[in-house]
Amino acid sequence: MLNKGITITVLAYEDTVREGLFAMFNSTYGYQVLNSYITCKDLIDNLKSERPDVIFATTDGCGYQPLTSAYTEVSRSIKNIAPKTKLIVFTYLETEEAIFQLLKAGIDGYITRSSSPVKLLESIQEVYQGGAPLSLSIAKAIVTSFHKNTSSLLTPREVQVLELLAKGKTYSLIAGQLFIDKETVRTHIKNIYWKLEVHSKSAAIEKAMEEKLI
């Protein structure tokens, strides 16, 4: 654990999550919660006066869609106001688009909701000491992206749709995960078939894997 206490500002949309994080951090030696907020706006409004060492934030408190774009803007705002404050995102977003947009916005760590309480505490210690904590699934996604065919005819969104299809997701699940409607999913799939010159899901997945598009 840390030799001295660090102050942590917690941002969470759901009260149960926020209160749970608050209790966990405050009951652990070396960690102290400076404050907690329900919305991004509340946190940003108070950030100038509080200046925490680490912000541990969910992506649920932005209040509008598309969620990735919203939180990218919030991340930049936090970094502009408090550039020395470390920002860890605690999220269920694991798509490549979300990962890279948030990393480019300046976040210092990316931890998924499936992480254990011990991992959450370790991530704060790691980022405070200059590290960049990432959940295993996030690190794997980043590494995998470097092995993909960069000359792909498919757009990043089409690749996302195809990857989810390959995982057996239904149109409804894909729509929900990517925050788009089912008709948009159908349009993406039609474009994928046309670009890959195939006529079925299995053929599209097989060709995409052969050409390292997914």
Q: What is the pLDDT at residue 65?
A: 45
Q: How many CA atoms lie within 13 A of 65 on its CB side?
A: 6
Q: What is the pLDDT at residue 168?
A: 85
Residue 26 sits at φ, ψ, to 5 deg, of: -70, -20
Q: What is the pLDDT at residue 150?
A: 58
113: confidence class by pLDDT, cuts 50, 70, 90: confident
Could you report the per-residue pLDDT of 31-84, keeping only the tens digit for each? 888 888 877 888 888 888 888 889 888 765 454 444 566 778 888 888 899 998
Domains and CATH numbers, the chain: 6-142 (3.40.50.2300), 156-210 (1.10.10.10)
Neighbours of 133 (CB within 10 A): 21
Residue linked to tokens 């760590």: 109
Supply the DSSP string of 91-152, one letter for each residue.
ES--SHHHHHHHHHTT-SEEEETT--HHHHHHHHHHHHTT---B-HHHHHHHHHHTTS-TT-
Over residues 113-125, the mean pLDDT reads 87
Does the CA dihedral 111-48-78-133 come out positive or negative? negative
